[in-house]
């Protein structure tokens, strides 16, 4: 699983993006900070929609992703 281009470029200027691989698969985390604590995430077909405060963006769900969650300003994509 690879970090989607939209998360690498443009939408995460002030966020920390990490990709971690382990025995259980790959996990991508994007920490937007405490200002995005009320972030909401929806998955529609193969698109992920992220809404936080006055920002909104979408990206293609990475191949192999099985779960997308948001908690306290951290977006997590799991395989």
Domain boundaries of the chain, sorted by first residue = 5-78
Question: pTM of the predicted model, to two decimals?
Answer: 0.83
CATH class of the domain at 5-78 = mainly beta
Do you know the residue count of the chain?
79
| More confident of the two residues 66 and 24 | 66
Rounded-to-integer distance, Cα 28 and Cα 65, Å: 10
Q: What is the mean pLDDT of residues 56-63?
A: 88
Rounded-to-integer distance, Cα 14 and Cα 3, Å: 16
Quick one: what percent of the chain has pLDDT higher than 70?
92
């Amino acid at each position: 699983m690879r970090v989607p281009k939209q998360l690498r470029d443009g939408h995460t200027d002030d966020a920390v993006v990490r990709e971690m691989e382990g025995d259980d698969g790959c996990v991508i985390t994007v920490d937007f900070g405490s200002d995005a604590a009320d972030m909401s995430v929806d998955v529609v077909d193969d698109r992920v929609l992220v809404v936080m405060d006055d920002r909104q963006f979408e990206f293609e769900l990475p191949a192999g992703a099985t779960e997308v969650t948001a908690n306290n300003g951290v977006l997590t994509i799991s395989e």
